[in-house]
Amino acid sequence: MSEELLASVVTAISNVGFPIFLSIYLLNKMETKIDAMITAIQELTVAIRTNQPF
């Protein structure tokens, strides 16, 4: 982590508080997993419609 990024993270924690910062971090991390689940569901829907094994 660069010093500039670390400084901005520390500033964010001190400004908005740890719980809010943690919530934002976890929501951001979960977003990529939700996107992957959406893609998998869409692929599964196509496979079911075409009656092909997935």
Q: What is the 3-state secondary structure (H, E, C) of 1-54?
A: CCHHHHHHHHHHHHHHCHHHHHHHHHHHHHHHHHHHHHHHHHHHHHHHHCCCCC
Residue 7 lies in a domain: yes
pLDDT at 30: 93
Specify the residue for token string 């991390």. Answer: 29
Q: If you average pLDDT over residues 1-14, what whole number do you get?
A: 85
pLDDT at 40: 96
Which one is predicted more confidently, 15 or 52? 15
Residue 45 lies in a domain: yes
- The two structure tokens encoding residue 39: 């893609």
Residue 54 lies in a domain: no
pLDDT tens column, 20-50: 888 888 998 899 899 999 999 999 999 888 9
- How many domains does the chain divide into? 1
Q: Which domain, by its residues, includes 24?
A: 3-49
Residue 16 lies in a domain: yes
Q: What angle do CA 43, 44, 45 make, to 5 degrees?
A: 90
- At 52, the pLDDT band (50, 70, 90 cuts) reads low
